[in-house]
Amino acid sequence: MPIIVESNTASAELFLSVSGPGARHVASLDELRRALAESPDEHAIVLGPTVDLEAAAALADNLRVTRPAVSVILMRRRVDTSVLAEALRSGMREVVEERDLTGLGEAIKRAQQVYRAVTGPNPRGDDAPLGKLLTVFSPKGGVGKTTIAANLAVCLTARENARVCLVDLDLGFGDIAITLQLFPARTIADAVALESDLDFTVLEPLLTPHRKGFSTLVAPVQPDAKDSIPASLISRVLAILKQNFDFVVVDTSPAFDEHVLQAFDETDELLLVTTLDVPTLKNVKIACETLDLLNFPKPRRHLVLNRADDKVGLAPEKVETTLDMKIAQAIPTSPEVANATNAGEPITSSHPKHPVSLALNRLADRVTSGAVAGASSDQPDKSKRAASTPKRGLLRRGR
């Protein structure tokens, strides 16, 4: 997230246009110092042509000792030997001519590489534990998958200030943004152009914060953007998010497409959502058989029965018999859920004591504690926690 220092607003806008997502503009070195104090992960500073050369050199000389991972890039209207000599003495990494916008963009990319080389790939530290990735999936649309995912993000964020990221992986018709009434500046589609340099410093500016304290990575606005997003990128994005968040909640499309399969590879706990109707049960039954073929461990599958008290001639016991799987959590029916969704406020936030909210919190307890799906108690079964430990490379399929 480079910081551009330039008092000329028109020039600053040109520099920002080639500086990548998350780049910021400040007008003076005093503003820069305040911004740096709030940005411990900054990797590049661009000093524009209006910044005094002597002051720029003093700043660079200080930063090479106090912030060695930060690259200082100097821009001048004309680059001559005296400018290059001063830049060399003070420890600036690059000098770029004002009109060379392409050169500026390349210099910022090199600064990202320097930052990764100095700090390492994982800002939390190589020994830091990975976060837990929870995937909410159903092969049938309209079962409440997005509502469950959004409310899980709220529930998890409320736990001991956990860092939570909600990812909309329904790349064609994702509804997370509209459900939460977000107005994102960027979406997951913006990561495509950044794939070669992708790390958390690049990915973080693509996230949209929610007022309840969690982050979101929303789906593209245009459905056809899905075709431009490689499945391999999804794997990298989710792996990076797991390194930097305590919990990553993924809302998926209702299909076993390549993007969803990549999410399964990173999944620690899978929430299978069904309702009390025969077409949905048939599709979920087929999904379970597909998961068997993919070698996704049964102990890490959790069956969620949404709208569980609908009077439609099917009982929860019939669901368990049909799917040969115990219900991990039943969520009752309530018009308040739709009202909360239409208001852009998840029900666990607007009505935390509502029966639906209490059920969703119990679901969060179960999947985050490692309890095996279908355990009779709301308390985690400690003897079976080892069976819930994620294992990489379990899904065997053609790439």
Give how many domains the chain has, as a whole number: 2
Structure letter (DSSP) for residue 196:
G
- 223 and 169 share a domain? yes
- 102 and 196 share a domain? no
With 0-12 CB in 10 A as exposed, 13-18 as middle and 19+ as buried, what is 50?
middle
- 112 and 21 share a domain? yes
Per-residue pLDDT of 180-229, as tens digits, reads 988 888 899 988 887 767 888 888 889 999 988 899 999 988 878 888 89
- 18 and 141 share a domain? no
Q: What is the mean pLDDT of the chain?
A: 84
The three-state secondary structure class of 8 is coil
Domain boundary among 92, 119, 146: 119
In a domain, 127, yes or no: no
pTM of the model: 0.65
Q: Write out the DSSP string of 120-152.
A: -S-TT-TTSPPPEEEEEE-SSTTSSHHHHHHHH
Asked if pLDDT for residue 46 goes beyond 90, the answer is: yes
Per-residue pLDDT of 295-309, as tens digits, reads 899 999 999 999 988
Domain boundary among 77, 95, 119: 119
- 115 and 137 share a domain? no
CA distances from 302 to 246, 273, 279, 331, 372 (A): 20, 8, 20, 13, 8
In a domain, 331, yes or no: yes
Q: What share of the chain is helix, strand, coil (3-state, %, to 5)?
A: 45, 15, 40
In a domain, 393, yes or no: no
Q: What is the CATH number of the domain that holds 101?
A: 3.40.50.2300
In a domain, 242, yes or no: yes
- 178 and 38 share a domain? no
Domain boundary among 67, 90, 119: 119
Asked if pLDDT for residue 319 goes beyond 60, the answer is: yes
Give CA torsion, residues 2, 6, 12, 18, to 10 deg: -30
Confidence band (pLDDT; 50, 70, 90) for 128?
low
The three-state secondary structure class of 308 is coil
pLDDT at 391: 39
How far apart CA 264 and CA 146 sit, in angstroms, is 17
Asked if pLDDT for residue 382 goes beyond 60, the answer is: no
Cα within 13 Å of Cα(114), Cβ side: 21
Per-residue pLDDT of 129-138, as tens digits, reads 678 999 999 9
- 144 and 98 share a domain? no
Per-residue pLDDT of 224-277, as tens digits, reads 888 889 888 898 899 999 999 999 999 999 989 899 999 998 899 999 999 999
pLDDT at 200: 87
Confidence band (pLDDT; 50, 70, 90) for 166?
very high
- 109 and 136 share a domain? no
In a domain, 399, yes or no: no
In a domain, 395, yes or no: no
- 165 and 67 share a domain? no
Q: What is the CATH number of the domain that holds 296?
A: 3.40.50.300
- 278 and 148 share a domain? yes
In a domain, 397, yes or no: no
- 8 and 110 share a domain? yes
Per-residue pLDDT of 323-364, as tens digits, reads 999 999 999 989 998 898 888 889 998 899 999 999 999 999
- 206 and 58 share a domain? no
pLDDT above 70 as % of the chain? 88
In a domain, 38, yes or no: yes
Domain range for 66: 3-119
What's the average model confidence in pLDDT over 374-388? 35
